[in-house]
Amino acid sequence: MIKGIHHISMKCGTDEELENVRNFYVNILGMSICREWNDGIMIDSGNGLIEVFSNGKGERRKGALRHMAFLTDNVDEMAEKVRNAGYTVFIEPNDKVIDSVPEYPFRMAFCYGPLGEEIEFFCEY
């Protein structure tokens, strides 16, 4: 039986990229490092982990996994934090409603992370 998502894995190619990842997820988004090793870190997102290796060339293209979404109470604040840190917010905070039964209202925004990953900030109403 599946209990949930344990971790998402990313790879970067240099120690500098790894430091950029650490700064983005820890200092800007407010997550914490739960373990480190010589060529990687594991970041706690609150309900899942982000595993990042620096032992090879990272992949920078969109594939079957389109983005990762982080649940937040304040989409606008998160978008502003990443923008102020110099990252691109490519979909500004906005409200949407999925026409489902029942309707599904939410607020969202998208940015690029330090490895080019697409990140959604998501707040359910």
What are the structural domain ranges in the chain? 1-59, 60-125
Choose which CATH entry (3.10.180.10, 3.40.50.300, 3.90.420.10, 3.40.50.11540) describes domain 1-59.
3.10.180.10
pLDDT interval class at 103 (50, 70, 90): very high
Model confidence pLDDT, tens digit, residues 41-69? 999 999 999 999 888 776 667 776 788 99
pLDDT value, residue 56: 73
Q: Got the DSSP string for 36-70?
A: EETTEEEEE-SSSEEEEE-SSPPP-S--S---EEE
pLDDT value, residue 70: 94
pLDDT value, residue 58: 67
Contacts of 105 (CB under 8 A, 6+ apart): 95, 96, 97, 124, 125
CATH topology of domain 60-125: 2,3-Dihydroxybiphenyl 1,2-Dioxygenase; domain 1 (3.10.180)
